[in-house]
């Protein structure tokens, strides 16, 4: 899911490998500039909502295909 969010909007996810990278990301991306923080928050929210919508839609389509159509044919 993180890859899909990052693909949708690169600002939505920042990938780090070490504690030092995490510390730098927090300081540079989140704490140093309120505008950058707001942009990252907005991007994360948009990516999450987009993916959530796709997941719900896919589940609904599967339910419709495998359960609801079967109920109608009985």
Per-residue pLDDT of the chain (74 residues; tens, 9 = 90+): 677 777 778 888 888 999 999 999 999 888 898 998 999 899 989 888 888 888 888 898 898 888 877 666 65
Predicted local distance difference test score (pLDDT) of residue 51: 83
Predicted local distance difference test score (pLDDT) of residue 73: 64
Q: Which residues of 7-22 are buried (b: 16+ CB within 10 A; e: fewer)?
A: ebbebbbbeeeeeeee
Give the separation between CA 26 and CA 14, rounded to whole angstroms: 10
Check if the beta carbon of residue 13 is closer than 8 Å to that of residue 40.
no
Position of tokens 């009985």?
A: 74
Give the separation between CA 6 and CA 14, rounded to whole angstroms: 8
pTM for the complete prediction?
0.60
Question: Positive or negative CA dihedral for 40, 45, 50, 52?
Answer: positive
């Amino acid at each position: 899911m993180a890859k899909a969010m990052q693909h949708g909007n690169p600002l939505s996810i920042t990938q780090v490998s070490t504690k030092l990278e995490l510390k730098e990301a927090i300081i540079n991306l989140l704490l140093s500039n309120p505008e950058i923080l707001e942009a990252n928050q907005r991007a994360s929210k948009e990516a999450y909502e987009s993916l959530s919508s796709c997941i719900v839609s896919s589940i609904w389509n599967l339910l419709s295909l495998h359960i609801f159509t079967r109920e109608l044919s009985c």
